[in-house]
Structure 1
Amino acid sequence: MKWSHVKANWTAFYEAIQEKWPEADDAELDEIDGDQRAFIAYIAEISEMDPEEAREEIRDWLVGEIPSDVVMDPGHDNHSIALSSKFVPEGEEEMDDDSRFGDDDEYPDDDDE
């Protein structure tokens, strides 16, 4: 994944960050707000390593897949829906209700069971 994915979905990455660096604190992550340099400095500080080592550790972490909780984040979903607009016929909006297609009851929500 790229840093742009992390920055765009910063709060959704908190769990993945804290899984990799358990000493990371939500309040500190809030302050960093996706700033890569600040994040490198913070990881270096809490892990007691020099910034270059922290940068390399973060680079290795970025090689992994985007965590599923980030993919499922509503902000990510809305972005995906907005991107789908090129497939929506003229005169319709990508966020329109699709209940007129009649398939809403085909796959009931877990709450309906």
Structure 2
Amino acid sequence: MRRREGGQALVMVSLSLFAMCGLMGLAIDVGWSYYVHKMARAAADSAALAAVNEALLAIKGTAPPYDCTTTGITCSTPLIDCSSATGNLLTGCQYGYQNGFDIPGGGNGGHQKLMIQADAPPNACR
């Protein structure tokens, strides 16, 4: 009787080997997909930062920091108190307040005040 049952282990090992190879292939494909996704995201982030840097250089001609005398840059004087803000500035003040910038009386020497306004539509740089 033992002779007829001798090949049973061979069949089981063969079938499990196919399953293990399939799982290893799946793991490799998922890992490669994750790697490619991370590299694509890093490339997109780098491209976005390069575009912003290029736009800043086009505005000023040199790298930041900026002053209020450069063409295309408008500085608000005196500083705007958030209690009198309206429109987009009010939205920005409320966003800052929700994220911990609670500055009573209009600011701490103006260090936390920033208003950015773009007159060009978002697709103008394409």
Provide the TM-score with structure 2 as the length reference.
0.21
The structure where helix makes up a greater share of residues is 1
Provide the TM-score with structure 1 as the length reference.
0.23
Q: State the structure with more CA Rg.
A: 2
Higher RCO (CA < 8 A, seq sep 6+)? 1
